[in-house]
Structure 1
């Protein structure tokens, strides 16, 4: 991953010492801290992490790989063992801290730090995205945490790589109850693939952050909802804001639908006129 931030050894592998020295004199390479340099157009978040004495890791690094991460203002940094002792709020993984191989941790190292740093729900959301994007396989994910605690294994058991967005994962995790069947990304004849099918007949669709920016998508999904209703399904459509920031208002309403067994209403038999 090229973020425009380099260790001295990485620079030496790319160019002769004379060219590196000239680039530093000319301002085409900027010193961030001892042994670390950046180009003027380097990724700002990565450059700030290195300037602070660490490297980008955990959720911040995973986002650079295209992984869906919960919204936050926090930048996740980590250092080696010596640096970590000076920054108690930085991310750590179980066991010793690894050496810094680059300005942004690789996927495996980032996941190890996320497992210790993130709340349980956020870690499941991240793992769902990693699995859905096929950045790791379920076996590889399980192998990575073979020696993990029982609690972490229970968290990993809740992962489901079928979810196509973190908000889908959030809803699935938050409404989960014993004996409540929740299936992500179910294909329904006449409707298409829906985000979540609860029980037999309750569809929950979760719109993305930029959903309303696409008029065609907006119109098409309203037609899908109408088709689903015509087939006997009940459709609930949630926004990004509702799931991420207004869940305390949304959850009791969904639970009331489930209490009324809306999700178990039988689908009518469709007959030809």
Structure 2
């Protein structure tokens, strides 16, 4: 409010617990015609680049300003602000947590250019993290069959299954940092391997910062048909 606008975009959505790409900036929406903006630390000082504030001026947004944006408006702003894969992850997160419906999502994307509206067709409300979104979208663009949040009797729910039996587990910091979680992950991996599944486990840094190397390994397994159950030979039991 000191800046002269409302909290919006990823700054607001993070407060709702949604997955967003954190760029370290304060995201503020102001009226399209507003020119005088102040420092977030002192209202009497002008805003400057070193304040790490991202200003949004969408002409389609409501002109009435409050302390914070409605979540639907914030989602629309974040869809334009983030790289496409991160925008899809944020929309996935909002659907997964039940903060918006499919109808709400359509309303959020309706005023945006077509290239942003199309991102709504790539969303999946079962995804529980941006890691799952990135893996799912990247692999599906290569026409690889991917299922998310799949229940497997031997191990419970797994993040992603590629083809029939290639399990991709994606470890975010929040849920895989303790010894108990570490041991449980290994127990599940062993149970899956015993049942004939192949398990690839990737970290947050690997998915977000070195996905090309991860994808190369996954594509190699797919080319070798390691993601499919072995075919039974003719006449076998």
For 1:90, what is the secondary structure of its paired residue? strand
Shift of residue 245 of structure 1? 2.0
Give the Cα separation in 2 of the matches to 1:85 and 1:183.
49
Measure how far apart 1:239 and its partner are.
0.7
Pick one of 136, 144, 150 that aligns with 1:180.
144
The DSSP-based 3-state class of the residue aligned with 1:210 is helix
Partner of 2:13: 62
Q: Which residue pairs with 1:197 in the alignment?
A: 161
Instruction: Report the counterpart of residue 41 of structure 2 in structure 1.
Output: none
Aligned to 2:81: 117
What TM-score comes out, normalization by structure 2 length?
0.82
Deviations 1:29-62 (A, max 9, x none): xxxxxxxxxxxxxxxxxxxxx3333322111111
Pair 1:218-2:182 in alignment = yes
Q: CA deviation at 1:217?
A: 1.2
2:207 pairs with one of 216, 231, 243: 243
Task: State the alpha-carbon separation in 1 of the partners of residues 87 and 30 from structure 2.
Answer: 20
Q: CA deviation at 1:253?
A: 1.8
- Summarize deviations over 1:156-180 as a string: whole Å, max 9, x none: 1000010111111111122223531
- Partners of 2:186 and 2:96 lie apart in 1 by 26
Mapped contact 2:170–2:203 kept (Cα < 8 A): yes
Tell me which residue corresponds to 1:91.
Answer: 56
Task: Output the TM-score relative to the length of structure 1.
Answer: 0.72
How far has the Cα of 1:97 moved from its partner? Answer: 5.4
Contact 2:32 2:59 in 1 (8 A): no
CA–CA distance in 2 between the matches of 1:112 and 1:145? 6
Q: Give unpaired runs (5+ residues) of structure 2.
A: 38-46, 48-52, 233-237
Larger radius of gyration: 1
> Following the alignment from structure 1 to structure 2, what is the Cα–Cα distance between the partners of residues 123 and 66?
15
**SS at 2:34's partner residue?**
helix
Q: CA deviation at 1:235?
A: 0.5
Q: 2:142 and 2:216 mapped to 1: Cα distance?
A: 17
* Structure 1 Cα separation of the partners of residues 36 and 137 of structure 2: 34
Aligned to 1:165: 129
Q: Which residue, 166, 170, 193 being the options, matches 1:206?
A: 170
Q: How far did residue 84 of structure 1 move?
A: 6.3
Q: Distance in 1 between matches of 2:83 and 2:109?
A: 16
RMSD: 2.4
Question: SS at the partner of 1:72?
Answer: coil
CA distance in 2, matches of 1:125, 1:141: 13
Structure-2 separation of matches of 1:228 and 1:127: 31
Give 1:77's match in structure 2, choosing from 25, 28, 38: 28
* 1:153 and 2:117 correspond: yes
SS of the equivalent of 2:26 reads coil
Structure 1 equivalent of residue 220 of structure 2: 256
